[in-house]
Structure 1
Amino acid sequence: MDRNTNKRYVSYMKTLLISLLISITTHAHNGALTKAKLLNGESFQSLAAKEKKLVVFFLSASCPCTKKNIPYLQKLSKEYSHFQFIGVHSNANENLDLAKKEFSNFDFPIAYDEKGEIADQFKATKTPHVFVVSASDEILYHGGVTNSIDPKRAKNFYLDNALKDITNHKEVRQKFAKALGCYIVR
């Protein structure tokens, strides 16, 4: 193979691999989410979420990145009220009492994922890690909230851009962005 052919082959293989990864992660398979128990004792199914698109974000009571993103996520939940926002607390090293103490007074429901089943199904890795899911269970966006651990310092607002695109009935321009924050402890 000459050098140009080799470059084209490597480029083709990268594109193929990225396409394969995107196709593997485009469905949420959120069966565990529909069975989730919320911190307030209700079940997630009682929210009638199938009628709305979901914004599912993973959070931690001890992660400074989560704490910096919560006010911004609350702002977005009001701005995009036609989406159902739900937080998922999946850290095995943080008990239910701590989760209730940290997250009981939020504008959106918080699920307690004691066994990490929801995090496993979504393949969530960090807090915050965000997934925008269509009513037909397709992941429209996943990754970071912004390009910074603190939205006040961000220059790229990935989640906001994805929600704007969906609201305007457009294809999401950026379907994935690296999640920044603390790793989910399983």
Structure 2
Amino acid sequence: MKKTLKAFFALFTIVALSSFTYFGGGHGYHVGDIATDFELENIDGKTVSLSNFKSAKGFIVVFTCNTCPYSVAYEDRIEALNKKYAEKGYPVVAIMPNNTEVKPGDSMEAMQARAKAKGFTFPYLMDKGQEVYPQYGATKTPHVYILQKTEKGNIVKYIGAIDDNYQDANAVNKKYAEDAVDALLSGKEIEEKQTRAIGCSIKV
């Protein structure tokens, strides 16, 4: 009997931990939470916060970096999201969350060079003290949080992946981020509010 109970609790623990890992852990924001604003340094040396975007209806916050192959695979798609939705009120705000001592390729100088080479049109901020990504609960690069600006604050409306195929943009079947923003713009309910973020673990 004791062995059976031990086996049951062991299996329960594995399932519970797997569920937490699948959706980015039990910490950080959940859909429906109000996201706290932040002040982070942009690649142009200026400090950026969400409150700077006076006319925004919301934000596509993407935790990403230079060194993760998943993030690199999504760079053009992140840029496309900004070009498509910034003028509609949902700009991309990218945040680099890694410890640069562990990943020197994610230094501010490297971020500046990458943004220039790729022609990024969105803010590319450094979470220098690694204080913002734990608030959000981000675990991967890339990891997307779509926020809707309201009188109560910036409400988290979607968490997860950009789409369902990091390897090939032309083979994507589900554009999760686009579908979420389109729903918000049209006043409809988001069908998939949370998906699994696929990418590299954030380096601490």
TM-score range (shorter-chain normalised) is 0.7 to 0.9
- 1:29 deviates by 3.0
- Determine if contact 1:30/1:118 at 8 Å carries over to the other structure: no
* CA distance 1:83–1:72, shift in 2 (3 Å): same
What aligned pairs does 1:168-179 form with structure 2 within 5 A after superposition?
168-179=186-197
For the residue of structure 1 that corresponds to 2:91, the secondary structure is: strand
- 1:50 deviates by 5.0
Which of 49, 72, 79 is 1:74 aligned to? 79
Instruction: Among all aligned residue pairs of Structure 1 and Structure 2, give the percentage whose two residues are the same amino acid.
Output: 20
Q: Which structure has the higher relative contact order (CA within 8 Å, separation 6+)? A: 2
Could you tell me which residue of structure 2 aligns to residue 43 of structure 1?
47
For the residue of structure 1 that corresponds to 2:159, the secondary structure is: strand
- Determine if contact 1:54/1:85 at 8 Å carries over to the other structure: yes
- 1:97 deviates by 1.9
Give 1:143's aligned amino acid.
G
- Determine if contact 2:146/2:158 at 8 Å carries over to the other structure: yes
TM-score normalised by the chain length of structure 1? 0.80
The CA deviation string for residues 118-175 of structure 1, in whole angstroms up to 9 with x for no partner, is 1111111111100001112210001000112233332111001101101111111111
* CA distance 1:182–1:96, shift in 2 (3 Å): same
CA RMSD of aligned residues (A): 2.5
The CA deviation string for residues 96-132 of structure 1, in whole angstroms up to 9 with x for no partner, is 2222222244110111111211111111111110000
- 1:64 deviates by 1.2
Which of 157, 176, 180 is 1:140 aligned to? 157
Could you tell me which residue of structure 2 aligns to residue 89 of structure 1?
96
For the residue of structure 2 that corresponds to 1:134, the secondary structure is: strand
Q: Which consecutive segments of 4 or more residues in structure 1 shift more than 4 A?
A: none
Give 1:166's aligned amino acid.
L
- 1:24 deviates by 5.7
- 1:86 deviates by 0.7
Could you tell me which residue of structure 1 aligns to residue 132 of structure 2?
118
Give 1:27's aligned amino acid.
D
User: How many residue pairs align between the two structures?
Assistant: 167
Are 2:183 and 1:162 aligned?
A: no
